[in-house]
Each structure stands twice: as C-alpha cells, then as structure tokens.
Amino acid sequence: MVDFMQAKKEPRGMSIRYVKGVGPAKAALFEKLGVRTVSDIFYFLPRRYEDRTVVVDASEARAGTHQAVKGRVLKCSLFRARTGTGIFEITVGNDSGRVFGVWYNQPFLSKVFSVGQEVVLYGEVEFSGRLQITHPAFEISGRDKNEESLEIGRIVPFYPLTENLSQRDVRRAVFRALKAYSFSAEDPLPTRIRARKQLVDLKFAIENIHFPHSFENLDKSYRRLVFEEFFMLQVVMALRRKKTVKKGVPHSLKDGVLEELENILPFELTPGQKKCISEIQQDMSGAKPMYRLLQGDVGSGKTAVAIFALLLTCRNGHQGVIMAPTEILARQHYMTISKVLMPLGLNVRLLAGGMELSDREKVKKEILQGDADVVIGTHSVIQRSVEFKDLALAVIDEQHKFGVEQRKQLMKKGVRPDTLVMTATPIPRSLVLTVFGDMDISTLKEKPSGRRKVVTYWTSADNRSSVYGLIRGEVESGRQAFIVYPRIKEGEEGSSTRSTEEMYKSLKKDVFPDLKVAMLHGKMGTSDKEKVMKDFVAGKHDILAATTMVEVGVDVPNVSVMLVEHAEMYGLSQLHQLRGRIGRGKHASYCVLISGDDSENAGERMEAMTSMDDGFLIAEKDLDIRGPGEFLGTRQSGLPELKFGNIAKDFSVMEEARHDAFMLVEEDPELKDERNKGVKDRINEMFKGKVSLQ
C-alpha cells in the first residue's frame, strides 16, 4: 500500500503491478524483461512495427499479401481433423466475398466469437481452394468501447516477450500505462537544447514510439529518445573528464629522451609511432593527469610507444608500471622492455603470481624503496601489499581484459598518475565515443616495415587432412605452427567441439607422431606454461596445440601457420588477434579457419576474415555483426546497456549529443543550475546514483 500511495505523488516510479489489468502475476513476468516500474515501461522499446493501417473489405482480400480484412462473422465451427488436431474456424465476409480465419488447438476462441459480430482479421492471406488466414490477429468491433483498437487499423508495435506473456498483454499494459501516466513524464532535456535540435517533447516521444500515429511521428520520436540516451551517456563522459582536471605529476620534457630511445631501439620508429609519442609527451608535460587510450592493429608497435612514456617518467625521477592480463604477456613485456631500458641504467622488475614467494617479496621491497624504476606484472601489481614509492605512470595493456575496478585500483597506487591504456583490438570510432569518451585517443594504423601479409583460408572439416599436410610441409621447411581450440578438455561446451587436451593426444599419436607437439592452456601450472613457451620460442617444439591463450603476448617469428578449429565460435576481432600472432618473421604465413557452422552469420564472418586484413575495418564489421553489447567486453565499461540507440547506425546523433553534453558540463560542471535538474535526475535514474556529480 505504501508503494501505491507514494505512486500517486510520483507515478513514474510506481510498480507496474498497479497498472490497470496487470496485477502481481503479470508484473512478475514483466520483471523478467527488466520492466518493474511505469518509467521502465515508457522506455521499453518495441523490436519492430507492422503497418496495419489499411483495412480492406473481405471481397478485396488478395492471396499472397499481409492484409487487415474486415467483415461480419457468418459462421463459427469447432471440429477435429483426422489427425486429432482441434480446429476452430470462422467465416468472415458477405455475398461479395469471404475469408476464413483458422486457429489450431485454441478451442476457447469458440466463446470469443459469435455469428453477427463485425471483426477485422490480420495476417497472410493464403489460397488453398479458398482464401484463409491462419492464426490471424483480430479485433472485434464494439467489444470494449472504452479502449482503442491495438491490433488492427494502426501501426502495431512488437515487443520482446517472455513465456506466458503475449504481444496482446504487453500492448494493453503499455497503452494503459501511457494513457494513465504519460502526463508524469517530466522531460529531462533542457528546453534550450530541445529547441536548438528541433526535438519533440518526451510525452510525444514515448507515446509515438509505442503507438505512432504515422511513420513520420515514429522517426521523430526515435530520434528524440536516441538523442536523450546518448546525451546522458556523454554528460557522464564529460563529468568523468572534468574530474581529471585535478593536478597530477607534471613531467619535464628532458632533452634527448626520444633520441636516447631511438639510438637503442633495433628498428626505426614509424611516423605513426612518433605522432603518438608526441601526443603522450604533451599530455605528460601538463599539470592535468594524462588519461589516454593508445589503440593500434596487431604488430603496429604500441610497446615502443609505451617504452618512451616509461623512459620519460623515469628520467623525471618517478616510477612506472605496466599491468598485463596474462603472465605470458607480462613476461614477454619484461624481456622486451628490459633489453631496451636496462642498458640505459634503469631497473626493470617483473612481479607475477608464478614467481617464488621470496622473489616476489624481494621485488615488492624494491618497489616500496624506489629501487625498481619500471615494474611489469599481472594482477599482482594491484594487490594491497604492493606499494610504490613514487608511481607517476600506469600503463594498462589489453585493457578490455580488465574490469573498471581493477583499472582504478592500479591508478590508486600513485597520486593521480598519468595513465596510458593500450589495446591491440582496434575500436570503431562510435564505440570509442561511447566507452572511452572521457579519454584522449592515440591511434597507430601503420605497421612496421617488413611485416608480411598473412594469407587466410576458410575451409570445412572435410579438408582437415589437407591443412595438416600444409602444416607438415612448413615444419619440414624449418617453420613452426599453432593449432588453436576453443576449449581445454572434453565435456566443455558440448561433445562435438574439439578440445586442446583431446587433440593434443591425437596430434601427437596419430597425426604427427614424428614431430614434436606441445600443449598450452590456462589451467596448466605457471612453471609448466613458462617452460612450454620458452621451449617453443627456442624451436624445441614444432607444433603448439593451445587455447586462445596465444591471442596476446606470444611473439614467435618462426611460426608460419595458424590453424583455428571451430572458428565460428569466435568474434571477428578475436580471430584477427589470433592471426596477428603469425607473419612476424621473413617467411610467408598462412592462417586457416575451419568452421563447422554453415549459417549466414558464420559465413559472413569467415568471408570477412579472408578478404580483410585491416584491423579497423574488421572491428567495424565485428561491431555490425555482434553489436556493442558483446564487442570488446563493453559490459565492463561501467555504462548501462543502450536501450534505444545503435551506436553504428545512429553515429551522427551520437556526435551531436556529445557536443551538446560537453558544452553543458563546461557551463555547469556540477549540474547545479535548476535548468539542468532533469539531466541530473535522469543520470541518477540511469546509473542508480553511482555517478558522482561533485
């Protein structure tokens, strides 16, 4: 009762159970769809619409079309077919023409229809000796004089459903909620922004997004709601960025740091790397803490850029840290960075869970005392027991492998340190603005000279023996190969999927008994993984059967073949990451994708992999196929799922909303202006009060 009484004052927050005709039972079903309050149902977007605005007489019905057909019920029949199936049938029309409505196993309809009623049926008109519509949607004229027709004679919405909740149930609940409470839809968008962008008000938008009077009104409503959603997200981005204006650790631009790095690197920096270094140098020299995303395709040279940032912070007397998602990648970074920075007099240390306890304690002591200039590690670096003397630069590699809180924990190890976030998964610009809109962006597109294009093939399991022949030929020529499987052992993900452990035994015993085959997966002990990788890099193994552990951090120039089994189980960006592990040497390289799925979606992905090698184009395609909810683990971003906007399709609206949002926060950084109260309230509603507005 308390909930209902409060609802009289604030109807948008009222439980949906109090909407006419819903009640506790249906409210529990709506809750499964994420709809708990009147406000939720306002923002419960239909999946699609059907134009049922044109209603024709039964005599005008035409086979092969979807039509709304009106007429008088001439006859009702309930009978059983020879198979035992119950059939209810009505004859609708007049002397000029007739259409039959047919329902299977729905005998209760005999109590709904009666001869003489005026009805409208909607569905596909078929001809099988007569015109009929099977399981039509229907309206009976005059049955409920107090409510409009929701099924026929209008643009009809179709919603996501759950068991025991029909389209008719949802439409009726939405319509009644709108009719009773849409007056309470306080518009969160400031009037000046709505006027400037020529956006309809919220009441018009929510009424017409559900039951549009025209497709023009539907378009206006959709644009308005998409703008609002993107606007609120971008206000949060602007607030996050505004919080970083606090003073950080300004770095002096020491003369010769870049030259120092260039003199010791075994290769020449690309123009793209130099541009990114310049952007990072500019950030680090300022008083505001750097918060920059460095994105680049596989093999584009991000590590060299990160080394410059580490060298700059150390030459200013501070410490730097790199956090990597796996021990293999951390050790790879340790070996690479040590070779560059140790000769320059810097103390580089590794901190990982697989180290001996005594070694870990020794490194932690060096970190605390400031004897360790650069620390490279896994999640170990964010443990409470790890304390830095003077951390001024935090580098997070493969950022999508970490959650928001883990990234924050690393940044708290220093006093507002500069932060460089790296990813080898190119991110579409639309996602960058959504997920990383509070960051500055540096992009590496060109690859260092000498990187060969990897030839990619897509084939079926029937051709596996030919692929094995390719692998054997490459090994006999002195090369090595990766074979990647989606799971570790049998019994995971279903019996038909090949596993690493199962196939390792088969490869070793039956396929390549004369070759040296090794295995690598995440459940192996740290020392075992380290030994396998060390031996593989040294050429002691010909073939490595592995899980996607090899997706990041594995750099073996001698590998010229990668076979990915069950390739349909991976996203495009992940397949591109796997492919990026080869083609790092001077030899021709081949990536073979074996897919057992012949669906259109899987085929589209496999075709993209064989025709594209640009990671940014692949990322756009991946986003288009999979959607933002799955791409790059955006659920870790701390942002709510988008209900209305499609960040690819509605990108132009996103850019408009971003401009206005950042302008508003610039004018009112704490949203104290009464004109912005609706924005503040809507953000608290969307983010459940988790966004700091101070």
DSSP secondary structure of 440-494: EEEEE-S--TTPPPPEEEEE-GGGHHHHHHHHHHHHHTT-EEEEE-SBSSTTSS-
In sequence order, what are the residues at sequence separation of 6 or more whose Cβ sits closer than 8 angstroms to the Cβ of residue 343?
Answer: 264
- What is the predicted pLDDT for the residue at 408? 82
Give me 143's structure tokens. Answer: 């049955």
Distance CA 133, CA 100 (A): 6
Give the model confidence (pLDDT) of 2-11 as tens digits.
444 444 556 6
Strands 118-127, 66-80: pairing kind: antiparallel
- What is the predicted pLDDT for the residue at 280? 94
- What is the predicted pLDDT for the residue at 481? 94
| Structure-token match 């989606």, residue found | 486
For residue 380, the number of C-alpha atoms closer than 13 Å in the C-beta half-sphere is 22
Distance CA 554, CA 546 (A): 12
Provide the 8-state DSSP code for 37: B
Backbone conformation region of residue 583, classed left if phi is above 0, alpha if psi is from -120 to 50, else beta: left
Give me 147's structure tokens. Answer: 């409510």
3-state SS assignment for residue 348? strand
Distance CA 201, CA 212 (A): 14
**Where does residue 84 rank: exposed (0-12), middle (13-18), buried (19+ CB within 10 A)?**
exposed
- What is the predicted pLDDT for the residue at 544? 94
Which domains can be identified in the chain, with CATH numbers? 2-47+177-212 (1.10.150), 54-153 (2.40.50.140), 213-450+652-694 (3.40.50.300), 455-612 (3.40.50.300)
Give the model confidence (pLDDT) of 610-667 as tens digits.
998 888 888 888 877 766 655 545 444 555 567 777 776 788 898 899 999 999 999 9
**Is there a contact between 584 and 614 (Cβ–Cβ < 8 Å)?**
no
pTM: 0.68
Give me 48's structure tokens. Answer: 């699609």
Q: In 10 A of CB 334, how many CB atoms?
A: 22
Three state DSSP letters for 514-582: CCCEEEECCCCCHHHHHHHHHHHHCCCCCEEEECHHHHCCCCCCCEEEEEEECHHHCCHHHHHHHHCCC
Q: In 10 A of CB 341, how many CB atoms?
A: 21
Q: Which long-range contacts (CB under 8 A, 24 or more apart) does 99-103 make?
A: 99/58, 99/61, 99/69, 99/71, 99/125, 99/131, 99/132, 99/133, 100/130, 100/131, 100/132, 100/133, 101/132, 101/133, 101/136, 101/138, 102/132, 102/133, 102/134, 102/135, 103/134, 103/135
- What is the predicted pLDDT for the residue at 655? 86
Short-list 469, 504, 462, CA closest to 483: 504
Q: What integer best gives the mean pLDDT of the chain? A: 86
**Beta-bridge mates of residue 565:** 594
**Is there a contact between 198 and 227 (Cβ–Cβ < 8 Å)?**
no
- What is the predicted pLDDT for the residue at 288? 86
- What is the predicted pLDDT for the residue at 689? 59
Q: What is the mean pLDDT of each run of 10 residues along the chain (694 residues)?
A: 48 83 91 89 90 90 91 93 91 91 92 92 91 92 71 89 89 91 86 94 94 94 93 88 72 83 89 93 90 85 93 95 88 92 95 87 94 93 92 86 77 89 79 74 78 87 92 95 87 66 91 94 84 90 89 80 91 87 87 81 85 84 70 51 74 89 92 91 77 57
